[in-house]
Structures are given as C-alpha cells and as structure tokens.
Structure 1
Amino acid sequence: MRNLILSAVLAGLSLFGATAQAEDIQAGKQYVELGSPVPVAQPGKIEVVELFWYGCPHCYQLEPTIQPWAEKLPEDVNFVRIPALFGGLWNIHGQMFLTLEAMGVEAKVHDAVFTAIHREGKKLATPEEMAEFLAGQGVDKDKFLSTFNSFAVKGQMEKAKKLAMAYQITGVPVLVVNGKYRFDLGTAGGPGGAIQVADHLIAKERAAQPAPAQ
C-alpha cells in the first residue's frame, strides 16, 4: 500500500514538473520568434530544422539525443538537417553532407562521419579523403566524387546559405521550428532542454492549425 501511495505521489510530482517546465518555456527566454517566417519545405507539415556542422563538438553532443527523438516524430512533423556554411571546413563538410543526401545514403553514414571526426581524429578536409573514408562505409567512391562536384549539390549549397541567413544564425547547433522559432542549446538548457522546447513549439504550432473541414 505504501508503495502504491509513493508511486502515485511521484507520478503527480512528475506531471507537475512537466507542466511547470512547459509553462516556463517562453519567447525571448528559451527561444526567439523570427520577424519574418521562413517558408517550410513541405507545406502542411510542422517542420523542425537542425542547422549543424560535422566539426562542431556541441552538434556531436546533441546527436545521441536528437536522432532517436527525430526517428519517433509523428507523421505531421518533418525533420530536416541543413549544414551551416561559414567558410573553410564548414563548407567542405557541408558539401559532403549534401552529397551524401543527394546519393540517398546520408542516414546510413551520418553517425560514422561524426565519430570519425570527433573520436578518431579524422579531418575529412578534402573530397579525396572523404571518399576514401566513406568507401569503408559502403559508399561508392567514384559516385561520391562525381556527385560532390555536381551542379545539383552546388545548388543545394546556395539554398543552405540563403536559409541560414533567413534564420539569422551565428553558430550551431540551432533548431528552427516551422520557420518561426529559433533556439540553441544555450538558451534551451542543453540537449534535453532542446527537445523539450522543440516539443513545446511543435504542440504550439499544431494547436494553431485550423481544424479539418467537416
């Protein structure tokens, strides 16, 4: 009986804590509202964008939290990764990501690229070095190199630059919900806090959508 009472009390405290945390999430505190909303990739869905760089230690820190969360998002939410392109290695690594995405193998090797850079000390600073490493992950070396230099990937690079400017980012990782709300690990309170803020804003956008016609 005592165990049942204790369980009920703990459950109540947990619910109270979750409610209090949701109420504490405010514009200007954990996130900022963009002055001009940015169009989403799939109209009709709530979009969550993660802007990142493979060489960023905080992006690497966020990955074990955001990946399983993204995999369980409901059908009305579209999760998108966009590389931040601030020059130098940022652009090289961003071009690698967009190449892998164009080849349809990004999800397969995303974690391996992070691990290679942050745990194995690889720089992956040239297309040739990338291709050699990725070949060990099952990616066709010649196809990677030809896609890396393709007009399609260069076009995606330009699109990524324009989106980063529209989101007004100055660093990474940054999350943007539905083209309206921007936040980072600092304002959100770490990886776990970022997920809480994202969930809160997804719920906010879902509640604001018009009810389906009867």
Structure 2
Amino acid sequence: MKKRIFYVLMYTVFIAVISALITTAWFHAFVLNQTSEAGPQVLRSLSAEKQDKSPIADGDDIVEIFSYGCHFCEMNERNVAELKKRMPAGKKFIRLHLSLDSQAGLARYAPVFATLEAMGIESTYRQSAYNAVIKDKIDLGDPAKLDAWLEKNKINVAEYHKVSQSKEVKDRLDYMTRVTQYYNINATPTFIINKKWIAIQDRDFPAFADKLLSIMETGKAPE
C-alpha cells in the first residue's frame, strides 16, 4: 500500500514538472522569440495625435497591463518588482488589470483587482489571486467562489462588496477599460511606455527591463 502511494506521488510530481517545462518552453518559443513577421508585433507605437489623446493619466511613464489569469504575469512578479526599483526619480510605474466592457476572458478578474486596490490590500493578496485562478482553477468572477476565496483569505466579505459598488471602483474599472481598448491590448503582460509605445516581452529579464527603460528615457525604439 505504501509503495502504491509512493508511486502515485512520484507520478504526480513528474507530471507537474513536465507541465512546467512545457509551459516554459512554449513561452520561450512563441512569446520571447516573436517577430513582427511571425506573430504579434513586440513593439509598436501610436501617432503623435493619438498619443496626445491617450486616456493614460499624466506621469504614468510605464504601465503594465496584466491579469490574475495570466501565467506569464505571475512568473514575472519578481522581475517587475526589480524593474520598479530601477525607475528613475520622478518616473512612475503603474499596474492596471486588463479590462473590457464584456469583462470576458482574462479581463474577468478586473473588478476583483479594482476592489482590492480601493481597499488598499491588492498587493498583499495578489499572489493568492494568481494561485486561485491559475493553479486552483477558481473562477473569481463567480460571486459564490469569490466569497469563498475572500473568507479563506480573511477578507471582510461585507466590506469587499460595499467597496466594489463604490464610485472609486467604478471609475477605476472605466479607466482600465478605456486604456485597454484605446491601446488595443489583447495579450498580457503588455507594457505601455510614455503613452506612445506598446511592448510585448521579447526577451528575458533583466534585458527586457533594459529595453523598457531605454525607450522611456530616449523616446526611441532600440536599434
């Protein structure tokens, strides 16, 4: 009996390791190695006119569009934290959740992000939200499942729902939706630099951070 349990555990671990390796290989093969000819453009820019009409607030020099359902966003948490530390004085790094009018797909969790942010606890529970959606396959867009997750994390359910209906949260959702749609964001993570440049990761960190900072400081695409 013990041997059977041991073999089952070993098999489970083996499958988990293989799945992780396949995911990482896919990321490097189809995301990091993208080119404008073979897939989505890894760097594009807005015209001066569109840049001037951008819905992004003044001073937001690098904006990351991410999602709780994005495995690559979760993988990059430490890298993004290091990028934020490297931001020059006076420059800002802002994180927004992908948001759409339909709140479908990866945008489904935008209300959770906006509410937790308004409560001042988003960064504290971000990893738990990632784990719930990506690893545990919990749909945080489902009210009942969301409540169970809130209770598990000892977040006041009544307070959460009260805040979720506030003007602050509704304004935040509207803002994130306008940014997502204006920049035609259809993949995460995506980075918007100086309101003009839209970059998809095409290399490992910290080289990708170097690229973003170079674009921000020079206003030009790297050669």
State the partner residue of 2:93: 79
> Given the alignment of the two structures, is residue 110 of structure 1 paired with residue 147 of structure 2, yes or no?
no
- 2:35 corresponds in structure 1 to none
1:194 counterpart (192, 208, 211): 208
Give the superposed CA RMSD: 2.6
Distance in 1 between residues matched to 2:69 and 2:63, nearest whole Å: 18
Normalising by structure 2, report the TM-score. 0.68
Instruction: Return 5+ residue gaps in structure 2 as ranges.
Output: 1-40
Q: AA paired with 2:87?
A: L
**Distance in 2 (alpha carbons) for counterparts of 1:125 and 1:144:** 14
Structure 1 gaps of 5+ residues are 1-28, 206-214
1:85 alignment partner, SS class: coil
Amino acid of the residue matched to residue 121 of structure 1? K
Aligned match for 1:57, one of 60, 71, 79: 71
**What fraction of aligned residue pairs are identical, expressed as a percent?**
20
Q: 2:43 aligned with 1:31, yes or no?
A: yes
- Cα gap change, 1:77 to 1:139, in 2 (>3 Å): farther
Tell me which residue corresponds to 2:187: 171
Report the counterpart of residue 70 of structure 1 in structure 2. Answer: 84
The number of residues matched between the two structures is 175
C-alpha distance in 2 between matches for 1:30 and 1:156: 27
User: How far apart, CA to CA, are the structure 1 residues paired with 2:92 and 2:144?
Assistant: 33
Q: 2:146 aligns with which of 117, 127, 130?
A: 130
Is 1:204 the counterpart of 2:218? The answer is: yes
Superposition deviation, residue 72 in structure 1: 4.6
Are 2:133 and 1:121 equivalent residues in the alignment? no
CA distance 1:46–1:204, shift in 2 (3 Å):
farther
Amino acid corresponding to residue 79 of structure 1 in structure 2: F
> Which whole-Å CA distance do the structure 2 matches of 1:70 and 1:168 have between them?
24
Distance, in Å, in 1 between the alignment partners of 2:66 and 2:175 is: 15
Q: Distance in 2 between the 1:195 and 1:72 partners? A: 9
- Residue 198 (structure 2) aligns with: 182
Report what 1:47 is aligned to: 61
Query: Using a 3 Å threshold, how does the CA distance of structure 1 residues 138 and 198 change in structure 2: closer, same or farther?
Result: farther
* Alignment of structure 1 residues 153-168 onto 2, 5 Å: 153-168=169-184
Aligned match of 1:10: none
Question: Residues 46 and 147 (structure 1 numbering): CA distance in 2 closer, same or farther, change over 3 Å?
Answer: closer
CA contact (8 A) 1:52 1:59 kept: yes
Residues 1:75 and 1:91: Cα distance change in structure 2 (over 3 Å): same
C-alpha deviation, 1:175, in angstroms: 0.1
